[in-house]
Chain A
Protein backbone atom coordinates (compact mmCIF):
# COMPACT_ATOMS: atom_id res chain seq x y z
CA UNK A 1 0.00 0.00 0.00
CA UNK A 2 1.62 3.24 -1.06
CA UNK A 3 -0.48 5.85 0.68
CA UNK A 4 1.77 8.75 1.48
CA UNK A 5 0.67 10.86 4.39
CA UNK A 6 3.33 13.54 4.26
CA UNK A 7 2.88 16.36 1.72
CA UNK A 8 4.62 15.89 -1.60
CA UNK A 9 6.95 18.60 -2.85
CA UNK A 10 6.25 19.70 -6.41
CA UNK A 11 8.79 22.41 -6.94
CA UNK A 12 11.76 23.83 -5.08
CA UNK A 13 12.49 27.54 -5.21
CA UNK A 14 16.27 27.72 -5.71
CA UNK A 15 16.80 30.43 -3.07
CA UNK A 16 18.64 30.04 0.27
CA UNK A 17 19.39 26.41 -0.35
CA UNK A 18 16.02 25.41 -1.73
CA UNK A 19 12.56 26.29 -0.29
CA UNK A 20 10.22 23.36 -0.96
CA UNK A 21 6.85 24.29 -2.43
CA UNK A 22 4.29 21.61 -1.66
CA UNK A 23 1.11 20.64 -3.45
CA UNK A 24 -0.94 22.48 -0.82
CA UNK A 25 0.26 25.81 -2.27
CA UNK A 26 -0.83 24.92 -5.80
CA UNK A 27 -4.25 23.65 -4.76
CA UNK A 28 -4.71 26.79 -2.65
CA UNK A 29 -3.95 28.84 -5.75
CA UNK A 30 -6.62 26.90 -7.61
CA UNK A 31 -9.16 27.53 -4.81
CA UNK A 32 -8.22 31.22 -4.81
CA UNK A 33 -8.65 31.40 -8.59
CA UNK A 34 -12.10 29.81 -8.38
CA UNK A 35 -13.24 32.16 -5.61
CA UNK A 36 -11.81 35.30 -7.25
CA UNK A 37 -13.34 34.51 -10.65
CA UNK A 38 -16.66 33.77 -8.96
CA UNK A 39 -16.50 37.05 -7.06
CA UNK A 40 -15.63 39.08 -10.15
CA UNK A 41 -18.38 37.47 -12.21
CA UNK A 42 -20.98 38.12 -9.52
CA UNK A 43 -19.86 41.70 -9.00
CA UNK A 44 -19.60 42.86 -12.59
CA UNK A 45 -22.04 40.68 -14.48
CA UNK A 46 -24.76 39.62 -12.07
CA UNK A 47 -24.97 42.52 -9.63
CA UNK A 48 -26.38 45.15 -12.08
CA UNK A 49 -29.13 42.69 -12.89
CA UNK A 50 -30.29 42.23 -9.31
CA UNK A 51 -33.86 43.18 -8.53
CA UNK A 52 -35.62 44.14 -5.35
CA UNK A 53 -37.53 40.88 -5.19
CA UNK A 54 -34.82 38.25 -5.49
CA UNK A 55 -35.37 34.96 -7.22
CA UNK A 56 -33.14 32.18 -8.38
CA UNK A 57 -29.39 32.54 -7.93
CA UNK A 58 -29.67 35.93 -6.26
CA UNK A 59 -31.81 34.26 -3.62
CA UNK A 60 -29.08 31.75 -2.81
CA UNK A 61 -26.43 34.45 -2.51
CA UNK A 62 -28.57 36.59 -0.26
CA UNK A 63 -29.39 33.52 1.85
CA UNK A 64 -25.71 32.82 2.38
CA UNK A 65 -24.76 36.40 3.21
CA UNK A 66 -27.67 36.84 5.58
CA UNK A 67 -26.85 33.56 7.28
CA UNK A 68 -23.25 34.67 7.91
CA UNK A 69 -24.33 38.02 9.38
CA UNK A 70 -27.03 36.37 11.50
CA UNK A 71 -24.62 33.72 12.76
CA UNK A 72 -21.96 36.25 13.71
CA UNK A 73 -24.42 38.45 15.52
CA UNK A 74 -25.85 35.46 17.38
CA UNK A 75 -22.50 34.41 18.75
CA UNK A 76 -20.74 37.73 19.17
CA UNK A 77 -23.57 40.10 19.91
CA UNK A 78 -22.28 43.54 19.16
CA UNK A 79 -19.06 43.25 17.13
CA UNK A 80 -20.61 40.61 14.91
CA UNK A 81 -21.02 42.75 11.83
CA UNK A 82 -17.38 43.81 11.85
CA UNK A 83 -15.95 40.35 11.76
CA UNK A 84 -18.53 38.82 9.41
CA UNK A 85 -16.55 39.38 6.15
CA UNK A 86 -13.51 37.58 7.58
CA UNK A 87 -15.68 34.70 8.79
CA UNK A 88 -17.39 34.50 5.40
CA UNK A 89 -14.04 34.36 3.60
CA UNK A 90 -12.72 31.64 5.86
CA UNK A 91 -15.97 29.70 5.47
CA UNK A 92 -15.81 29.86 1.66
CA UNK A 93 -12.13 28.93 1.54
CA UNK A 94 -12.51 25.99 3.93
CA UNK A 95 -15.71 24.73 2.31
CA UNK A 96 -13.97 24.60 -1.07
CA UNK A 97 -10.60 23.38 0.21
CA UNK A 98 -11.96 20.52 2.30
CA UNK A 99 -14.20 19.12 -0.42
CA UNK A 100 -11.81 19.48 -3.35
CA UNK A 101 -10.96 15.82 -3.00
CA UNK A 102 -14.15 15.15 -4.94
CA UNK A 103 -12.27 16.41 -8.03
CA UNK A 104 -9.26 14.24 -7.29
CA UNK A 105 -6.81 16.73 -5.84
CA UNK A 106 -5.30 16.45 -2.40
CA UNK A 107 -6.95 18.96 -0.06
CA UNK A 108 -4.57 21.68 1.19
CA UNK A 109 -5.89 21.24 4.73
CA UNK A 110 -4.19 17.85 4.92
CA UNK A 111 -1.01 19.85 5.31
CA UNK A 112 -0.44 20.68 8.96
CA UNK A 113 1.13 23.99 7.94
CA UNK A 114 -2.08 25.28 6.33
CA UNK A 115 -4.33 24.43 9.28
CA UNK A 116 -1.81 25.82 11.71
CA UNK A 117 -1.71 29.10 9.77
CA UNK A 118 -5.49 29.42 9.98
CA UNK A 119 -5.44 28.62 13.70
CA UNK A 120 -2.72 31.22 14.31
CA UNK A 121 -4.90 33.81 12.55
CA UNK A 122 -7.69 32.95 14.98
CA UNK A 123 -5.28 33.25 17.90
CA UNK A 124 -4.12 36.69 16.72
CA UNK A 125 -7.75 37.81 16.36
CA UNK A 126 -8.64 36.62 19.87
CA UNK A 127 -5.80 38.54 21.42
CA UNK A 128 -6.35 41.60 19.23
CA UNK A 129 -9.99 41.90 20.23
CA UNK A 130 -9.21 41.19 23.87
CA UNK A 131 -6.41 43.75 24.07
CA UNK A 132 -8.37 46.36 22.15
CA UNK A 133 -11.26 46.11 24.54
CA UNK A 134 -9.47 45.71 27.85
CA UNK A 135 -5.83 46.62 27.40
CA UNK A 136 -2.91 44.29 27.96
CA UNK A 137 -3.25 44.29 31.77
CA UNK A 138 -6.97 43.64 31.58
CA UNK A 139 -6.39 40.71 29.27
CA UNK A 140 -3.83 39.25 31.65
CA UNK A 141 -6.18 39.78 34.57
CA UNK A 142 -8.77 37.71 32.72
CA UNK A 143 -6.70 34.65 33.52
CA UNK A 144 -7.39 35.07 37.24
CA UNK A 145 -11.14 35.45 36.71
CA UNK A 146 -12.92 32.67 38.66
CA UNK A 147 -10.17 31.76 41.10
CA UNK A 148 -6.65 33.21 41.07
CA UNK A 149 -5.03 29.80 41.54
CA UNK A 150 -6.31 28.62 38.16
CA UNK A 151 -4.25 31.23 36.31
CA UNK A 152 -1.49 28.87 35.00
CA UNK A 153 -4.08 26.33 33.87
CA UNK A 154 -6.06 28.98 32.03
CA UNK A 155 -2.90 30.37 30.47
CA UNK A 156 -1.90 26.99 29.07
CA UNK A 157 -5.39 26.29 27.87
CA UNK A 158 -5.26 29.58 25.95
CA UNK A 159 -2.05 28.39 24.31
CA UNK A 160 -3.71 25.08 23.51
CA UNK A 161 -6.48 26.75 21.52
CA UNK A 162 -4.64 27.14 18.17
CA UNK A 163 -2.97 23.75 18.51
CA UNK A 164 -6.28 22.01 19.10
CA UNK A 165 -8.03 23.82 16.26
CA UNK A 166 -5.22 22.99 13.84
CA UNK A 167 -5.08 19.33 14.87
CA UNK A 168 -8.84 18.93 14.72
CA UNK A 169 -9.10 20.21 11.14
CA UNK A 170 -5.97 18.37 10.00
CA UNK A 171 -6.93 15.08 11.63
CA UNK A 172 -10.49 15.01 10.34
CA UNK A 173 -9.63 15.81 6.73
CA UNK A 174 -6.58 13.52 6.68
CA UNK A 175 -8.66 10.72 8.20
CA UNK A 176 -11.18 11.10 5.40
CA UNK A 177 -8.37 11.08 2.82
CA UNK A 178 -6.76 7.89 4.18
CA UNK A 179 -10.07 6.02 4.39
CA UNK A 180 -11.02 7.04 0.84
CA UNK A 181 -7.61 5.97 -0.51
CA UNK A 182 -8.00 2.55 1.08
CA UNK A 183 -11.49 2.19 -0.38
CA UNK A 184 -10.21 3.16 -3.84
CA UNK A 185 -7.65 0.38 -3.63
CA UNK A 186 -10.14 -2.23 -2.46
CA UNK A 187 -13.35 -1.52 -4.42
CA UNK A 188 -12.63 0.93 -7.24
CA UNK A 189 -16.01 0.94 -8.95
CA UNK A 190 -19.24 2.18 -7.38
CA UNK A 191 -18.78 2.19 -3.62
CA UNK A 192 -16.35 5.16 -3.37
CA UNK A 193 -18.90 7.51 -4.94
CA UNK A 194 -21.46 6.70 -2.27
CA UNK A 195 -19.01 6.82 0.64
CA UNK A 196 -17.36 10.01 -0.62
CA UNK A 197 -20.58 11.87 0.19
CA UNK A 198 -20.00 11.20 3.87
CA UNK A 199 -16.22 11.25 4.13
CA UNK A 200 -15.46 14.19 1.86
CA UNK A 201 -18.56 16.34 1.51
CA UNK A 202 -20.31 16.07 4.89
CA UNK A 203 -17.11 15.87 6.92
CA UNK A 204 -15.53 18.81 5.08
CA UNK A 205 -18.54 21.09 5.49
CA UNK A 206 -18.98 20.03 9.12
CA UNK A 207 -15.36 20.91 9.85
CA UNK A 208 -15.70 24.38 8.34
CA UNK A 209 -18.81 24.96 10.45
CA UNK A 210 -16.95 23.82 13.57
CA UNK A 211 -13.97 26.03 12.74
CA UNK A 212 -15.98 29.21 12.33
CA UNK A 213 -18.16 28.41 15.35
CA UNK A 214 -15.11 27.93 17.55
CA UNK A 215 -13.46 31.09 16.21
CA UNK A 216 -16.54 33.14 17.03
CA UNK A 217 -16.95 31.48 20.43
CA UNK A 218 -13.40 32.14 21.52
CA UNK A 219 -13.45 35.74 20.32
CA UNK A 220 -16.75 36.27 22.10
CA UNK A 221 -15.28 34.78 25.28
CA UNK A 222 -12.30 37.11 25.12
CA UNK A 223 -14.61 40.10 24.87
CA UNK A 224 -16.61 39.32 28.01
Chain B
Protein backbone atom coordinates (compact mmCIF):
# COMPACT_ATOMS: atom_id res chain seq x y z
CA UNK B 1 0.00 0.00 0.00
CA UNK B 2 2.83 2.37 -0.71
CA UNK B 3 1.91 5.48 -2.60
CA UNK B 4 -1.59 5.75 -1.13
CA UNK B 5 -0.72 9.10 0.41
CA UNK B 6 0.72 10.45 -2.80
CA UNK B 7 -2.33 9.21 -4.73
CA UNK B 8 -4.58 11.10 -2.33
CA UNK B 9 -2.56 14.30 -2.80
CA UNK B 10 -2.68 13.83 -6.57
CA UNK B 11 -6.43 13.33 -6.53
CA UNK B 12 -6.87 16.47 -4.47
CA UNK B 13 -4.74 18.48 -6.88
CA UNK B 14 -6.68 17.16 -9.86
CA UNK B 15 -9.96 18.63 -8.68
CA UNK B 16 -8.54 22.19 -8.69
CA UNK B 17 -9.84 22.43 -12.29
CA UNK B 18 -13.19 23.23 -10.72
CA UNK B 19 -11.84 26.70 -9.93
CA UNK B 20 -11.57 27.76 -13.55
CA UNK B 21 -14.92 26.24 -14.40
CA UNK B 22 -16.62 28.06 -11.54
CA UNK B 23 -15.20 31.44 -12.49
CA UNK B 24 -16.10 30.94 -16.14
CA UNK B 25 -19.66 29.92 -15.36
CA UNK B 26 -20.10 32.91 -13.06
CA UNK B 27 -18.97 35.31 -15.77
CA UNK B 28 -21.24 33.63 -18.34
CA UNK B 29 -24.26 33.88 -16.06
CA UNK B 30 -23.58 37.53 -15.33
CA UNK B 31 -23.44 38.34 -19.04
CA UNK B 32 -26.66 36.39 -19.59
CA UNK B 33 -28.46 38.31 -16.85
CA UNK B 34 -27.20 41.56 -18.35
CA UNK B 35 -28.49 40.55 -21.77
CA UNK B 36 -31.92 39.66 -20.37
CA UNK B 37 -32.05 43.01 -18.62
CA UNK B 38 -31.29 44.73 -21.86
CA UNK B 39 -33.88 42.83 -23.93
CA UNK B 40 -36.43 40.87 -21.92
CA UNK B 41 -38.25 39.43 -24.97
CA UNK B 42 -35.25 37.24 -25.79
CA UNK B 43 -35.34 35.46 -22.43
CA UNK B 44 -36.13 32.02 -23.90
CA UNK B 45 -33.29 32.11 -26.42
CA UNK B 46 -30.82 33.41 -23.86
CA UNK B 47 -31.96 30.74 -21.41
CA UNK B 48 -31.27 27.95 -23.87
CA UNK B 49 -27.88 29.29 -24.90
CA UNK B 50 -26.92 29.84 -21.27
CA UNK B 51 -27.81 26.28 -20.25
CA UNK B 52 -25.88 24.85 -23.18
CA UNK B 53 -22.82 26.98 -22.38
CA UNK B 54 -22.93 26.11 -18.70
CA UNK B 55 -23.16 22.39 -19.33
CA UNK B 56 -20.20 22.52 -21.70
CA UNK B 57 -18.09 24.59 -19.34
CA UNK B 58 -18.91 22.28 -16.45
CA UNK B 59 -17.36 19.42 -18.35
CA UNK B 60 -13.91 20.95 -17.69
CA UNK B 61 -14.47 20.45 -13.98
CA UNK B 62 -15.78 16.95 -14.69
CA UNK B 63 -12.54 16.04 -16.47
CA UNK B 64 -10.66 16.83 -13.26
CA UNK B 65 -13.10 14.69 -11.30
CA UNK B 66 -12.66 11.74 -13.67
CA UNK B 67 -8.86 12.00 -13.44
CA UNK B 68 -9.08 12.09 -9.64
CA UNK B 69 -11.18 8.92 -9.68
CA UNK B 70 -8.72 7.24 -12.02
CA UNK B 71 -5.82 8.16 -9.76
CA UNK B 72 -7.53 6.90 -6.62
CA UNK B 73 -9.06 3.68 -7.86
CA UNK B 74 -6.80 2.18 -10.46
CA UNK B 75 -3.36 1.79 -8.97
Nearest CB to that of B55 among chain A residues? A210
A172 within 8 A of B: yes
Shortest beta-carbon distance, A114 to chain B, in Å?
A: 15
Q: Are B66 and A164 in contact (CB under 8 A)?
A: no
Q: A5-B69, A5-B73, A6-B73 are in contact. Are A206 and B55 (CB under 8 A)?
A: yes
Given contacts A164-B59, A168-B59, A171-B59, contact A213 B52 (CB under 8 A): yes
CB neighbours of A206 from chain B (8 A): 51, 55
Chain A, range 118-157, C-beta contacts under 8 Å to B: none
Residues of B within 8 A of A175 (CB): 62, 65
Is the contact region of chain A dominated by helix, strand, or loop, or is it mixed? helix
Chain A residues within CB distance 8 Å of chain B:
5-6, 164, 167-168, 170-172, 174-175, 206-207, 210, 213-214
**In the complex, chain A residues whose CB is within 8 Å of the CB of B55:** 206-207, 210
Give 20 A-B contacts (CB < 8 Å), ordered by A residue: A5-B69, A6-B74, A164-B59, A164-B63, A167-B63, A171-B59, A171-B62, A171-B63, A171-B65, A172-B59, A172-B62, A174-B69, A175-B62, A175-B65, A206-B51, A206-B55, A207-B55, A210-B52, A210-B55, A214-B56
Interface residues of B in 47-67 (CB under 8 A from A): 51-52, 55-56, 58-59, 62-63, 65-66
CB atoms of B59 and A167 under 8 A apart: yes
User: Within the assembled complex, what's the spacing in Å between the Cα atoms of A89 and B40?
Assistant: 35
- The count of chain B contact residues (Cβ–Cβ below 8 Å) is 13
Contact B62 A168 (CB under 8 A): yes
> How distant is the Cα of A164 from the Cα of B67 in the complex, in angstroms?
12
Q: How far is the CB of B70 from chain A (nearest CB, A)?
A: 9
Contacts of A168 in B (CB 8 A): 59, 62
**Closest chain B residue to A211, Cβ basis:** B55
Listed from nearest, the 5 A-B pairs whose CB atoms lie closest are: A171-B62, A168-B59, A210-B55, A171-B66, A167-B66
Task: Using CB atoms, name the residue of chain A closest to B62.
Answer: A171
Q: Which residues of B contact A207 (CB under 8 A)?
A: 55
Residues of chain B with a CB closer than 8 A to A167's CB: 59, 62-63, 66
| Contacts of B14-51 to chain A: CB distance below 8 A | 51
Residue of B nearest to A166 (CB): B66
Looking across the interface, which residue of chain B has its beta carbon closest to that of A6? B73
> In the complex, which residues of chain B have a beta carbon less than 8 angstroms from the beta carbon of A6?
73-74
* Bound complex: CA A207 to CA B65 (Å): 16
Q: A167-B66, A171-B65, A172-B62 are in contact. Are A210 and B73 (CB under 8 A)?
A: no
Give B59's nearest chain A residue, CB to CB: A168
Tell me the minimal C-beta distance from A199 to chain B in angstroms: 14
- Contact A170/B51 with A6-B73, A164-B59, A210-B56 known, Cβ cut-off 8 Å: no
Q: How far is the CA of A207 from the CA of B63 in the complex (A)?
A: 15
